[in-house]
Chains A and B, each alone.
Chain A
Amino acid sequence: MENKKKVLLKVENAGISINDKSLVKGVSFEVKQGEIVTLIGPNGSGKSTTAKIALGIYKKIDGKVKTYTDKIGYVPQKISIDWTLPIRVLDFMSLTENLTKDQINRSLNLTGVQHLKDKSLSNLSGGEFQRVLIARAISKQPELLVLDEPVQGVDFKGEIALYELIKKISENMKCGILLISHDLHVVMSATDFVLCLNGHVCCSGTPQKVVKDSKYKELFGDRASNILSLYEHKHDHTHSQDGTIDQK
């Protein structure tokens, strides 16, 4: 059954260097339909760069990237709207795709910001803006979603809701998701495949496999390894005596 899922994105031994300085190298992974692949790593480890490589934003890269869909939604890590450009949430929603009013309303509703429809983008708070960015990315019903720290600045309650939404989108819309996140809790609970980056791929695999990797512990510290057990404990309601991780 695993093999039947359509591959949406294939990155092979990809990397990029600017002025002979390597930013990231030797990255390989695949994103399939209905699958969430997450990139983790410290600041400056090349997570956003890897996402941009996968999206074909750079002109010259090493290695190969292939996308098997052109329905792509992207939430960049940073986007600034200049005051000189008057634009409402409504206008921003149909930036790259012609949407009906219904589609716009539905997406904004999903991320909880329908009431901001007629507001200027430059008047939104950081968290509100992120919700609009996510709404825009999902409104065109993409096959591949690339989310670069999508919930930065969103309040705690909203963060959980948005991650649940992202998970639902991947399941219901059969959408493949490439996610960049600092929230190890979320990463380890909702992700199918994890790549741990630090200029190159330190380790990769299922969350269960990655947290046991010594390189992961080196990068994030011992506390980070306990995250998975914490999470699985809470949600599976399996109470192992010694606290070890139960395999599903």
Chain B
Amino acid sequence: MLDDFFIRALVAGIGIALITGPLGCFVIWRRLSFFAGTLAHSALLGVTMALVFQLNIALSVFLISAVLAILLLQLQTKTNLPNDALLGLLAHSSLAIGLVIIGFLTTIRFDVMGLLFGDILAVNQNDLLLIWVGGIFILIVLKFIWKPLFASTINYDLAKAEGMKPDRYNAIFTILMAAIIAISIKIVGLLLITGMLIIPAALARNISNNPLQMVVLSTIGGLLSILIGLFSSLEFNTASGPSIITAALLLFLISLIKTKKYSELKK
């Protein structure tokens, strides 16, 4: 069954949606949308590094993302510039360095479009293994750190005062973010992984009133985006990655209609 490219794409996409659903909620809650984008941008540098040093792409992307996250923490202690400025600086410079290095790699044919948007239809069985094993690992870790991470998200001081060790769990969360980007870069591409992290969680916020509900709805939203996106790309012969994000956007717009009704009811 896994021989069929479309089935493989579905299985891969479902795996991705299961991880980005819960993780995306934290991205929204912690106002890290731009951070996710920055990590995704740095992935280009990760891929070039993999080509230069003949490394595994996922591993290289993960390492570069992790280095970038540490760099960000270092920069925060060195300057009072706001976070979004620092993230912008890191995002664009890592993207630029990545592109400069690509320029030197004249011998290697490099599919930038593939990297930007991914190619979910070209997923092989090794990729599936990486996504599902990596994904299950990420979800298990997230389950274990849920309580302290959530408390740290609500209020750092409160979490720290009551023994929740926010610094440790913030760091683990950052590593999880690097990991999800590393394992999904080949499939949805670096521009679209940000979309999968943010849009389903955003639509879930519009229609939920407690954290757990938001996580569940975000995951369902991600799954629907994958299904609708992939089947419509098959039907209309459109690019699959962008189709998935377009589907997510449509779902988000639908959730807006529901929010309006909900807030009217409240009044």
- In A106-137, the 8 Å CB interface with B consists of 120
The reply on A70 being an interface residue by CB < 8 A is: yes
- Chief secondary structure at chain B's binding surface: helix
Known contacts A55-B160, A85-B211, A88-B209; 10 additional CB pairs below 8 A are: A74-B162, A76-B161, A81-B154, A84-B28, A84-B29, A84-B205, A86-B205, A90-B210, A95-B150, A96-B151
- Is B153 located at the chain interface by the 8 A CB criterion? yes
Q: A85-B29, A86-B205, A86-B213 are in contact. Are A52 and B163 (CB under 8 A)?
A: no
Complex Cα distance, B28 from A85, in Å, reads 8
B260 at the interface (CB under 8 A from A): no
In the complex, which residues of chain B have a beta carbon less than 8 angstroms from the beta carbon of A90? 210
Q: Across the interface, do B163 and A96 meet the contact criterion of CB distance under 8 Å?
A: yes
**Binary interface encoding of chain A residues 60-71 relative to chain B, with 1 for a CB under 8 A from any of its CBs, else 0:** 000000000010
Question: Which one of B158, B162, B205 lies within 8 Å of A79 (CB-CB)?
Answer: B158
Q: How far is the CA of A82 from the CA of B154 in the complex (A)?
A: 8
Q: Is there a chain A Cβ closer than 8 Å to B157's Cβ?
A: yes
Decide if A55 touches B155 in the complex (CB within 8 Å): no
Which residues of A have CB within 8 Å of B156? 57
B31 contacts the other chain (Cβ, under 8 Å)? Answer: yes
Interface string of B157-172 (1 = CB under 8 A from A): 1111111100000000
Q: Does A87 contact B (CB under 8 A)?
A: yes
- A44 part of interface (Cβ distance < 8 Å): no
Q: Nearest B residue to A48 by beta-carbon distance?
A: B157
Contacts A82-B29, A86-B209, A95-B150 given; indicate if A57 touches B160 (C-beta within 8 A). Answer: yes
Q: Are the CB atoms of A52 and B210 closer together than 8 Å?
A: no
Q: Does B93 contact A (CB under 8 A)?
A: no
In the complex, what distance in Å separates the CA atom of A31 from the CA atom of B236?
71
Can you name 29 A-B pairs with beta carbons within 8 Å? A52-B161, A55-B161, A56-B161, A72-B161, A73-B162, A74-B161, A76-B155, A76-B161, A79-B154, A79-B155, A79-B158, A82-B29, A84-B31, A86-B205, A86-B213, A86-B214, A87-B210, A87-B211, A88-B209, A91-B211, A91-B212, A95-B151, A95-B154, A95-B158, A96-B147, A96-B151, A96-B159, A96-B163, A146-B161
Cα-based distance from A56 to B157 in the complex (angstroms): 9
**Chain A's nearest CB lies how many Å from the CB of B113?**
33
Chain B residues with CB under 8 A of A70: 163
Q: Which of B150, B157, B164, B209 contacts A120 (CB 8 A)?
A: B209
A70 to B162 CA separation, bound complex (whole angstroms):
7
Interface string of B197-221 (1 = CB under 8 A from A): 0000000010011111110000000
Q: Which residue of A lies closest to B202 (CB)?
A: A84
In this complex, the member of A92, A96, A97 whose beta carbon has the largest number of chain B beta carbons within 10 angstroms is A96
Distance in angstroms between the alpha carbons of A159 and B19 in the assembled complex: 46
Return the 6 tightest CB-CB contacts between A and B, nearest first: A74-B161, A55-B161, A96-B162, A85-B29, A57-B160, A86-B209
Q: Give per-residue flags for B134-157: 1 if the beta carbon is below 8 A from chain A beta carbons, else 0.
A: 000000000000010011011111
Contact at A74–B151, with CB atoms within 8 Å?
no
Interface centre among A72, A73, A74, A81 (most CB of B within 10 A): A74
Whole-angstrom distance between the Cβ of B17 and the nearest chain A Cβ: 20
The proximity string for A residues 170-189 relative to B, scoring 1 for CB distances below 8 Å and 0 otherwise, is 00000000000000000000
- Interchain CA distance A69-B205 in the complex, whole Å: 38
In the assembly, what is the distance between CA of A184 and CA of B12, in Å?
64
Contacts of A97 in B (CB 8 A): 162
Distance, CA A86 to CA B150, complexed state (A)? 12
Q: What is the distance, in angstroms, from B100's C-beta to the closest C-beta of chain A?
A: 36
C-alpha gap A246/B210 in the complex (Å): 54
Per the bound structure, the CA–CA distance linking A96 and B213 in Å amounts to 19
Q: Which residues of A contact B28 (CB under 8 A)?
A: 84
**Contact partners of A57 in chain B: CB under 8 A:** 156-157, 160-161
Q: Min CB distance, A186 to chain B, in Å?
A: 23
Q: How far is the CB of A88 from chain B (nearest CB, A)?
A: 5
Contact residue among B153, B159, B210 (Cβ-Cβ distance under 8 Å from A91): B210
A140 → chain B, closest Cβ, in Å? 8
Interface positions of A from 179 to 225, Cβ below 8 Å from B: none
Task: Kindly list chain A residues whose C-beta atoms are within 8 Å of the C-beta of B212.
Answer: 91
CB distance from A131 to the nearest CB of B (A): 16
CB distance from A130 to the nearest CB of B (A): 14
Report how far A21 CA is from B28 CA in the complex, Å.
35
B158 touches A88 (CB 8 A): no
Chain B residues positioned under 8 Å from A79 (CB to CB): 154-155, 158
Cα A96 to Cα B161 in complex, Å, equals: 10
Chain A neighbourhood of B154, CB < 8 A: 79, 81, 85, 87, 92, 95
